[in-house]
Amino acid sequence: MLGLEKSDFRLLLLVIVLTLFAPFLLNPFPVDSTMAQFNAGYPDLMQRFVIFGIFAIGFNILFGLTGYLSFGHAAFLGAGSYAAIWMMKLLTMNVIPAIVLSIVVAGLFSLAVGFVSLRRSGIYFSILTLAFAQMSYSLAYSVLTPITGGETGLQPKIDDPRILDSVLAVGQQARANLFGLDMSTSHDLIVGGWAFTFNAGYYVAALLMVISFYISIRIFRSPFGLMLRAIKSNQNRLGYTGVSARPYTLAAFVISGMYAGLAGGLMVAMDTQAGAERMFWTASGEVVLMTILGGAGTLIGPVLGAGMIKYMENIVSKINSTVLEGWFAWMPEIIQDVVVAVVYPFVGKGWHLTLGLVFMLVVIFLPGGLMEGFRRISDRFFGGSRKTDNSTGGTTAPTAAE
Amino acid sequence: MEAIVLQVLNGLDKGSAYALIALGLTLIFGTLGVVNFAHGALFMIGAFCAVTLSRLLTLSHIVIDETQKDFLGNARKVEVPYIYDIFGEAAGNVIIDWAVPISIIVAIPVMMAIGVAIERGLIKHFYKRPHADQILVTFGLAIVLQEIIKYFYGANPIPTPAPDAFRGSFDFGAALGFDPNVIIYPYWRLVYFGFAAIIISAVFAFLQFTTFGMVVRAGMADRETVGLLGINIDRRFTIMFGLAAAVAGLAGVMYTPINSPNYHMGMDFLVLSFVVVVVGGMGSLVGAVLAGFLLGILESIASMGAVLAVLPGINQIILYLVAIIILLTRPRGLMGRAGVMED
Amino acid sequence: MSERNDITRRRVMKSGAAAAAAAASTPYFFTRAFADGHGYLNAPKGDTVTLGFNVPQSGPYADEGADELRAYELAVEHLNGGGDGGMMSTFSSKALKGNGILGKKVAYVTGDTQTKSDAARASARSMIEKDGAVMITGGSSSGVAVAVQALCQEAGIIFMAGLTHSNDTTGKDKKANGFRHFFNSYMSGAALAPVLAKAYGKERKAYHLTADYNWGYTTEQAVKESTEAMGWETVAAVKTPLTQTDFSSYIAPVLQSGADTLVLNHYGGNMVNSLTNAVQFGLRDKQVNGKDFQIIVPLYSRLMAKGAGANVKGIFGSTNWHWSLQDEGSKAFVKSFGTKYGFPPSQAAHTCYVQTMLYADAAERAGTFNPCGIVEALEGFEFDGMGNGKTLYRAEDHQCFKDVLVVKGKENPTSEFDLLEVVEVTPVDQVTYAPDHPQMAGGNLGTCNSGA
């Protein structure tokens, strides 16, 4: 169906169902319970899950298939963001032109960077992409301030021209919308003690993620995808057969750059702000970590990795000592103090520590990332023969490190 | 002219810091083939060895001084270091003053131990794993180390001054016959340069002239064959890792008077040290050192007012621009070996 | 567009409590219903009101963020009637009674800005969308302040800025829903110049090193213009990258330039490192043009002074507030903060505490948490007893106008907190500027947004 094999179609269906029902799945706890701290089903975080999911899916097309490790993909995300915010300032607050231009700009930028960087491979390629991204960040933060807003970034302002939009009434805010549908529109469904939020922006972003995911499956299964895998396994041999690898790697690079641009454009569409920090090397590093954490080369792993990191960043960092005391209030006071003292360094301002430990534990015990964990679990329950890793490329086969 | 001489001098000093960090990294990254994202953290821990030692030396007991008041109007608690009780105030002060150089002695065994522990406990299992896994595990390790330091020392920089004897700066200009005050350079930075030169030569000599170094170099070239010869290469690689950690740590110790250390200083240097190693060429110690000095000098020259007036913002991107140019003109950096980390 | 907006679940639950109880477990859809006439976003329902404290908890400013958080917790304690009441007793407005705000107990949520605009906005949005916060406050950089302020304007929430010193926050990026108590670059320049002229004479040649981003630009401009007005000459102004850690190559050429004064327009880690490097080069032991070489740090913070250690001795700068001030408000605040935490508060802690009190007081006077009511109550509000003398929240740009402190690194500190001494309290008139001053040009406050 849709040009997909049965197992792929099932996976796509699973992703559609998960994104559709995310507001329920992410809010498993009643609003007034102490566990509500772990609820992630509010618009901002749901949007971030799918946006970074798109970013990671795109990154995986390059890294997972060809093995080329780009350390500068955040630059494309940033370029996309700037393109989108300028569309909103100059043309219209409608998100369509913003998103389209962000993909185009990121595509062109990645074409230029890829064309140069792909002349080298391995670590040399990684450092070239890193260098381009760091230059973009540094310039955007400093000398390009008139275009990028520098430190304070860019936001829509009342006085922006916005030539396609009607003039704002007094007191009206410029809001990102889809033909009048405000991206921040939310409806709440109340069921007993539970509340589930359905946000317009989230569903727009989720739709785009599902499309991105579908395209990614098609690429993975196409002759083009096969060619990319061949590049990963042995580029020399490919060369001997008279095939030049570069057009293929460049195509993969540009496609993943466009995915990054889409993610950047969506970030602006969901939250109208663009800043240079999202091009810093740590942002490029983050998508690398997301992909590896989830499982590089698997179809859905990178999305899981993205979700995991964003969840830690947004949920664990908000657990402060007052919240902890609330959780353990039922304990005798002395034990409560001890438990709070033990847990406290890992949450709130210590959320980075937990993140670092998760990275280490996952990679030590689950080579191949979170997807490996799922595979093992399903092996245990459904017998070893069943193949749940839905990519034929499989987890990156451990190859000797050189 | 003076301005250029000054910036070259500056670049040599900056470069010696880069070279020292890159040297340690290239021992692990360029030769053991491990992408070590925790290398910056090792540098940072070295710096905190110095902080810890000066904290230990100033460990104090509290004497209540009724004649003075604190900010709330209570009697002030005056802290008296225990070291005063042992050596007297004058000698105690001298020891406290020399905390940073003394830390070198402490840092070598500590950093060796940390390096060996990391290699045995973690890295050993990752030699045969994909680079991606190495990145994830060492990045995780770097975050954990960094957060532990933050937990105990806070996020604020901690001033760790050089001994008073090294305060002030040397007037090169006057010595070379230029006007006085034109080419000056702080004594401590000269010490740093000399120190870096000694460490770099020592590492080279060790690898070049000892049997141990010979075996390691052979192991780098062909691990399997060395293993077949009945030589325990694993144990030597462990020691190499310890050595690299010690080099990074010493670079950190000596760097503390130049910039007050803080818990994320390692991350600040991480990307830069990777750029230096790769520009130098994978697997080449000489390349790493050369690249360190080259980038240091170019960075210094790019920061001159006259250069910035022509090319605004060049100081922001010079390192990366040079890296791109070198990697495009020389496929394996300055002196890289073929086949190392190219796929 | 009658049905939009982020309505938080917590709020929904509270408002829907009665209905839910009646309908038991019957599911129902909730779409934008301000049936009770409280037509504004996150109107507190039950008996508590939630404030969002968004401070850096990771990254280089984590210690500053921790101090801000301490101040917020103290403010909440005082608002709810705990502790000794702190500055509530010295505050000129007596609307606050120690029974929360408008009779509602104050609750709070915290988040980590990481000193990154994106992370700060994500954290603020979770407070608005998930926790039902009615006001967001905190932060320790202008980038974050401007980003979160814009978000709050769009969402319809009040933003009470924490530490943000760039002119832009209440200049070209000012917003009706945002308020700043902290001083700014212009004020630093205006306060410093006369003191510098008095201490160092009117014939000085200044060399600026400036952090290469917005805050650096506005600070350089402010200090340059006000010192030049005093007769100083600016020899050069060199931009340094934010990510720079070793400033030697920027500092080494200073003496060659013939300058006799170095102005370090740096903050945080940049300032600690550049000052340490400058002192290391022995600049302060030199004589140029027959004068002792001097270094100036326009914006001081005690935490950063601590990072630079002995290098700050004798160096002039400006600060928003210092714990050694002897007015009643400052004394009361230092006492309650010091008693609770064991050390004196920083200027960041002070501004955050005051901002929380001012918000609470405005809500109390307005009789509502509606952002438009708060804006009205704060605009043009004059008060005293909060540590900086008589203060005005100017209506035109939502900037506080108050005395500014010129400080100097102390020669003989008695503790690790006693690093700065107040040289002069520059009266407010001297640092006041017209709302359309060229350094502030280009902004549009807009109108308040209540999210309705």
Smallest CA-to-CA distance from C126 within C114, C111, C137 is with: C111
Residue in A237, A360, A365 to test binding to B, most B beta-carbons within 10 Å: A360
Residue whose token pair is 């402190």 = C405
How many contiguous H segments (helices) and E segments (strands) does chain A have? 17, 4
Do C196 and C158 belong to one domain? no
Do C206 and C249 belong to one domain? yes
Q: Give the integer Cα–Cα distance in Å for C346 and C303.
A: 7
Residue whose token pair is 């917590």 = C10
Domain A6-280 has CATH 3.10.450: no
Q: Report the residue from B76, B159, B305 with minimal CB separation from C236.
A: B305
Single-letter amino acid, residue C162: G
**Domain-embedded: residue C19:** no
Count of B-C CB contacts under 8 Å: 140
Residue in C11, C29, C154, C159 to test binding to A, most A beta-carbons within 10 Å: C154
Q: Find residues 213-242 of chain C whose CB sits inside 8 Å of chain A.
A: 213-215, 217, 239, 241-242
Provide the token pair at C373. 């009511």
> Predicted confidence band at B340 (pLDDT cuts at 50, 70, 90)?
confident
Provide the token pair at B10. 């500056």
Residues in a beta bridge with C50: C107
8-state DSSP, A184: T
Q: Report the residue from B34, B316, B323 with minimal CB separation from A138.
A: B316
Hey, are the CB atoms on B343 and A235 less than 8 Å from each other? Answer: yes
User: C55 CB contacts (<8 Å, ≥6 apart)?
Assistant: C65, C66, C68, C69, C72, C110, C111, C112, C113, C138, C139, C140, C162, C352
Count of A-C CB contacts under 8 Å: 187
Nearest residue on chain C to B263, alpha-carbon basis: C60
* Residue B325 parent element (H or E): helix B314-329
Which residues of chain A neighbour C4 with C-beta distances below 8 Å? 175, 182, 184-186
Pair C206, C234: CB distance under 8 Å:
yes
Do C350 and C315 belong to one domain? no
ipTM of the prediction = 0.91
Residue in C118, C121, C172 to test binding to A, most A beta-carbons within 10 Å: C118
Smallest CA-to-CA distance from C374 within C48, C156, C168, C54 is with: C156
Residues in a beta bridge with C49: C106
Asked if B130 reaches chain A (Cβ–Cβ under 8 Å), the answer is: yes
Q: B19 to chain A, minimum CA–CA distance in Å?
A: 18
Q: Find residues 268-287 of chain B whose CB sits inside 8 Å of chain A.
A: 271, 274-275, 278-279, 282
Nearest residue on chain C to A151, alpha-carbon basis: C143
The sign one gets for the Cα dihedral A283, A288, A291, A294 is negative
Residue in A309, A316, A363 to test binding to B, most B beta-carbons within 10 Å: A363
Provide the token pair at B334. 């300055």
Q: Give the integer Cα–Cα distance in Å for A316 and A298.
A: 27
Q: Report the residue from A120, A134, A289 with minimal CB separation from B139.
A: A289
8-state DSSP, A332: -
Q: Which of B177-181, B191-195, C1-5, C282-286 has the highest mean pLDDT?
A: B191-195
Q: How many CB atoms lie within 10 A of CB C434?
A: 8
Residue whose token pair is 């050429």 = C253
8-state DSSP, B29: I
Strand segments (E) across chain B: 60-69, 75-81, 169-171, 184-186
CA angle, C107 then C113 then C114, to 5°: 140
**3-state DSSP assignment of residue B78:** strand
Do C148 and C196 belong to one domain? no
Query: Tens digit of pLDDT for each residue in B52-65?
Result: 999 898 888 888 87
Query: Tens digit of pLDDT for each residue in B112-145?
Result: 999 999 999 999 899 888 888 898 899 999 999 9
Q: Report the residue from C212, C285, C309 with minimal CB separation from B159.
A: C309
pLDDT of B66: 78
Do C115 and C64 belong to one domain? yes
Which residues of chain A neighbour C213 with C-beta distances below 8 Å? 141-142, 145, 150-151
* Residue A260 parent element (H or E): helix A246-270
pLDDT of B197: 94
Hey, are the CB atoms on A398 and B129 less than 8 Å from each other? Answer: yes
- CA-based diameter of chain A, in Å? 74
Which residues of chain B neighbour A401 with C-beta distances below 8 Å? 33-34, 126-131, 134
Segment A139-157 mean pLDDT: 92
Residue in C1, C3, C5, C6 to test binding to A, most A beta-carbons within 10 Å: C6
* Residue A198 parent element (H or E): strand A194-199
Q: Please state the separation of Cα C88 from the chain's center in Å.
A: 20
pLDDT of A383: 65
Instruction: Report in angstroms the alpha-carbon separations of C426 from A152, C305, C435.
Output: 29, 21, 20
Q: Work out the burial of residue B58: count CB atoms within 10 Å of its CB; fewer than 13 is exposed, 13-18 middle, 19 or more buried.
A: middle
Q: Return the CA Rg of chain B.
A: 22
Ranges of chain C with pLDDT below 50: 1-25, 31-37
* Residue A187 parent element (H or E): strand A186-191
**3-state DSSP assignment of residue B184:** strand
Q: B64 to chain A, minimum CA–CA distance in Å?
A: 31
Which residues of chain C neighbour B260 with C-beta distances below 8 Å? 272-273, 276, 307-309
Q: Give the integer Cα–Cα distance in Å for C201 and A173.
A: 51
Q: B136 to chain A, minimum CA–CA distance in Å?
A: 6
User: A175 CB contacts (<8 Å, ≥6 apart)?
Assistant: A93, A182, A183, A184, A272, C4, C154
Hey, are the CB atoms on C20 and A190 less than 8 Å from each other? Answer: yes
Asked if B335 reaches chain A (Cβ–Cβ under 8 Å), the answer is: no
Which residues of chain A neighbour B278 with C-beta distances below 8 Å? 123-124, 127
CA atoms within 13 A on the CB side of C291: 18
Asked if B190 reaches chain C (Cβ–Cβ under 8 Å), the answer is: no
Do C232 and C304 belong to one domain? yes
Query: Tens digit of pLDDT for each residue in A51-85?
Result: 999 999 999 999 999 999 999 999 999 999 999 99
Residue whose token pair is 């090319």 = B311
**Domain-embedded: residue C435:** no
Which residues of chain B neighbour A116 with C-beta distances below 8 Å? 324, 328
Q: Report the mean per-residue pLDDT for chain A.
A: 90
Q: Give the integer Cα–Cα distance in Å for B246 and B46.
A: 8
Q: Give the integer Cα–Cα distance in Å for B115 and B112.
A: 5
Pair C191, C431: CB distance under 8 Å:
yes
Do C87 and C200 belong to one domain? no
Smallest CA-to-CA distance from A296 within A238, A241, A256 is with: A256
Which residues of chain A neighbour B321 with C-beta distances below 8 Å? 131, 135
Q: C296 to chain B, minimum CA–CA distance in Å?
A: 19
Segment B31-46 mean pLDDT: 89
Q: How many CB atoms lie within 10 A of CB C268?
A: 23
Q: Find residues 21-60 of chain B whose CB sits inside 8 Å of chain C.
A: none
pLDDT of C16: 42
Q: Report the mean per-residue pLDDT for chain B.
A: 88
Which residues of chain C neighbour A44 with C-beta distances below 8 Å? 122, 125-126, 129
Smallest CA-to-CA distance from C363 within C354, C376, C349, C351 is with: C376
Q: Give the integer Cα–Cα distance in Å for B341 and C39.
A: 62
Distance between terminal CA atoms of chain B?
45
**Domain-embedded: residue C243:** yes
* Residue A197 parent element (H or E): strand A194-199
Identify the CATH number of the domain in which residue C243 sits: 3.40.50.2300
> Predicted confidence band at A29 (pLDDT cuts at 50, 70, 90)?
very high
Segment B224-231 mean pLDDT: 81
Single-letter amino acid, residue C110: T
pLDDT of C276: 92
Q: Find residues 38-57 of chain C whose CB sits inside 8 Å of chain A.
A: 57
Asked if A157 reaches chain C (Cβ–Cβ under 8 Å), the answer is: yes
Segment A208-222 mean pLDDT: 96
> Predicted confidence band at A396 (pLDDT cuts at 50, 70, 90)?
very low
Pair B20, B272: CB distance under 8 Å:
no
User: Which structural domain, as residue segments, surrounds residue C255?
Assistant: 186-319
What are the structural domain ranges in chain A?
A: 6-280
Smallest CA-to-CA distance from A256 within A289, A216, A306, A199 is with: A216
Segment B190-205 mean pLDDT: 93
Which residues of chain B neighbour C310 with C-beta distances below 8 Å? 159, 161
According to the 3-state scheme, what is the secondary structure of chain C? CCCCCCCCHHHHHHHCHHHHHHHCCCCEEECCCCCCCCCCCCCCCCCEEEEEEEECCCCCCHHHHHHHHHHHHHHHHHHCCCCCCHHHHCCCCCCCCCCCECCEEEEEEEEECCCCHHHHHHHHHHHHHCCCCCEEEECCCHHHHHHHHHHHHHHCCEEEECCCCCHHHHCCCCCCCEEECCCCHHHHHHHHHHHHHHHHCCCCEEEEEEECCHHHHHHHHHHHHHHHHCCCEEEEEEEECCCCCCCHHHHHHHHHHCCCEEEEECCHHHHHHHHHHHHHCCHHHCEECCEECEEEEEECCHHHHHHHHHHHECCEEEECCCCCCCCHHHHHHHHHHHHHHCCCCCHHHHHHHHHHHHHHHHHHHHCCCCHHHHHHHHCCEEECCCCCCCEEECCCCCEEECCEEEEEECCCCCCCCCCEEEEEEECHHHHCCCCCCHHHCCCCCCCCCCCC
Nearest residue on chain C to A156, alpha-carbon basis: C150
Segment B189-216 mean pLDDT: 91
Query: Tens digit of pLDDT for each residue in A178-190?
Result: 998 999 888 888 8
Q: How many CB atoms lie within 10 A of CB C376?
A: 17
What strands, in cross-sheet order, belong to the sheet with C28-30?
A194-199, A186-191, C28-30
Residue in C246, C257, C292, C330 to test binding to B, most B beta-carbons within 10 Å: C246
Instruction: Report in angstroms the alpha-carbon separations of A145 from A386, A390, B13.
Output: 55, 45, 32
Query: Tens digit of pLDDT for each residue in A92-108?
Result: 999 999 999 999 999 99
Which residues of chain A neighbour C168 with C-beta distances below 8 Å? 152
pLDDT of C27: 60
Pair A55, A306: CB distance under 8 Å:
yes
Hey, are the CB atoms on B157 and C272 less than 8 Å from each other? Answer: yes
pLDDT of C358: 97
Provide the token pair at B233. 């290469």
Hey, are the CB atoms on C248 and B155 less than 8 Å from each other? Answer: no
Query: Tens digit of pLDDT for each residue in B302-339?
Result: 998 888 888 988 999 999 999 999 999 998 889 887 76
Q: Give the integer Cα–Cα distance in Å for C406 and C421.
A: 9
Which residues of chain C neighbour A153 with C-beta distances below 8 Å? 117, 143, 146-147
Hey, are the CB atoms on B151 and A345 less than 8 Å from each other? Answer: yes
Smallest CA-to-CA distance from C448 within C175, C39, C162, C150 is with: C175
Residue B128 — left, alpha, or beta (φ > 0 → left; ψ -120 to 50 → alpha)?
A: alpha
